[in-house]
Amino acid sequence: MLTGNMMDFQLTINSVMRHGRTLYGQQEIVSVTADNPLHRYTYEDAFARVSQLGSALAKMGLSAGDRVATLAWNDYRHLEAYYGISCSGLVCHTINPRLFPEQLVYIVNHAEDKVLMVDLLLFPLIEKLRDKMPTVERIIIMTDEAHMPQTELNVECYETLLAGHPTDFTFPELDEKTASSLCYTSGTTGEPKGVLYSHRSTVLHAMACTSSASFGLNSRHTMMPVVPMFHVNAWSMPYACIMAGSKIVFPGPKMADGAVLTQLINHEKVTLAAGVPTIWLALLNYLRENNLTVDSLQAVTIGGAATPRSMLEEFEQTHKVTVNPAWGMTETSPLGTFNSVRPEIENLPADELMPYRLKAGLPPYGVELSIRNPEGIEQPRDGKSFGNLGIKGPWVASQYYRNDTNIIDDKGFMDTGDIATIDQYGYMQITDRAKDVIKSGGEWISSIDLENACTSHPKIAEAAVIGVYHPKWDERPLVIAVIAGDDTLSIEELNAYLEKHVAKWWLPDDVVYVDELPHAATGKLDKKVLREQFKDHTLPSEQ
């Protein structure tokens, strides 16, 4: 074999840091924090402090690969931890504060975290659980001395930890396959499972996020990552933005506050933002109720759950903001697909184009998708044939942390647990989670498609569809919905609307209205809770 004569350049997060600090040192990072309503500094300021953190970590006696956990919101100190920990050859273990306490304890102990860096607002949670975390040797509160809480625990102040350390610390040279960060799944079925990312996978993923085939970040953009930094590396925005030189605006603990998001967007001239549907619902409600606009905003990426048609239309028609649905998982870093309009379909009539706009999108270079039936036979890419969705690529997990079980099949694909279609243009559409498919009379009904149809009605703000027992059909669809106004829809009125959008035999047998729907720690609908809550629900057709 004749090999090329090119340099063996290690793809590490350290190289991203050097690039951002050298080329875009004066670019801004703006944050809302517990101890500062609007903190502002530059890349150069940030990486000088990252150097101080790296130096402090080096003096702690930690070994390469040790886990340093963070329990924090989206702000500048958390960004510093992302780089200071990983660039030191340690593993940045981001923890979701929305997990149940027993899940949080489980993952800290399973990861064997040595150090825990915790946001001031989240410290009360750790106070209650400290005795259950025997591997944690040091707790660092991410604030200054003036805001340190009164506590009987042995804790350290983040700002005091950094003080006195050099701002030009020399980080170790790392192999690109070195583990960089760790994130656990939400554990909706069984215990949470850890996904261990490498420097190489993280850098390649960030490069894909800067591509025009996805977020298309560059130094002219101001990105507001509303997707939390404690889950799947905030969709790689802390890396991709530094790589591209984009201004970053962090909303801190105010991620679901429509007023704060609006103020940040308008004051900081945010051009791009990323988050889950519940976040954008809060923003749109606030804009609508207060007759406000977000003129600088150009595009939002929506992931974590299907994009409701009504949300896409309100963003684009009222605010001239392009909506890009996306799909991914903790196991996929998470970028799996990103929806942008291909030239072959951009001139279709609006009603014909909309179904494509709402799909999960196209895989970027580096990702390959497969849909196969239960017998393992690849299904046609016709947008109608569906099957189990498999995925492979350099930023897709091959196994879980501290678990030797291989999770990829003989073709090299990881089973996502999703049921999906792929059309002739390559657009992937999730039709359901395998465990959420409604099996009625031997046929499958997509709960996701039915939910999307429900939320396209102007009177329905959010909807979940589950299957409930039926003596004849095995299961039939039940809609659990949050109403957008004051008036509810009867099941007859809802079905009169839905029959224009879905097959007649898909029409739900009943609708129940609730004040709010349960969401898992990552923002996704928690249908496990709904199935338990409505397991004894009697459908009108049974009465």
Annotated catalytic, 439? yes
Length reported for the chain: 543
Annotated catalytic, 137? no
Q: Concatenated DSSP letters for 66-105?
A: -EEEEE--BSHHHHHHHHHHHTTT-EEEE--TTS-HHHHH
- Rounded to 5 degrees, φ, ψ at 162 are -75, -30
- Rounded to 5 degrees, φ, ψ at 97 are -70, -10
Gap between the Cα atoms of 380 and 364, Å rounded:
20
**Beta carbons of 415 and 390 less than 8 angstroms apart:** yes
Classified as helix, coil or strand, 7 is: coil
E-assigned strand segments in 226-321: 247-250, 272-275, 299-302
Amino acid at 308: P
**Beta carbons of 487 and 477 less than 8 angstroms apart:** no
Gap between the Cα atoms of 366 and 480, Å rounded:
38
List all residues 6 or more positions away from 331 whose beta carbon is below 8 Å from its beta carbon: 185, 195, 396, 397, 407, 414, 416
Annotated catalytic, 488? no
Gap between the Cα atoms of 369 and 430, Å rounded:
12
**Beta carbons of 75 and 249 less than 8 angstroms apart:** no
Given the residues 177, 320, 435, 439, select the one marked as catalytic.
Answer: 439
Gap between the Cα atoms of 487 and 30, Å rounded:
41
Given the residues 444, 459, 528, 542, select the one marked as catalytic.
Answer: 444
Given the residues 80, 159, 314, 331, select the one marked as catalytic.
Answer: 331
Given the residues 12, 70, 185, 455, select the one marked as catalytic.
Answer: 185
Gap between the Cα atoms of 460 and 490, Å rounded:
12
* Residues 314-340 as b or e (16 or more Cβ within 10 Å = b): bbeeebebbbbbbbbbbbbbbbbbbbb
Query: Beta-carbon neighbour count of residue 127 at 10 Å?
Result: 15
**Beta carbons of 540 and 492 less than 8 angstroms apart:** no
Annotated catalytic, 431? no
Instruction: Catalogue the active-site residues.
Output: 185, 331, 439, 444
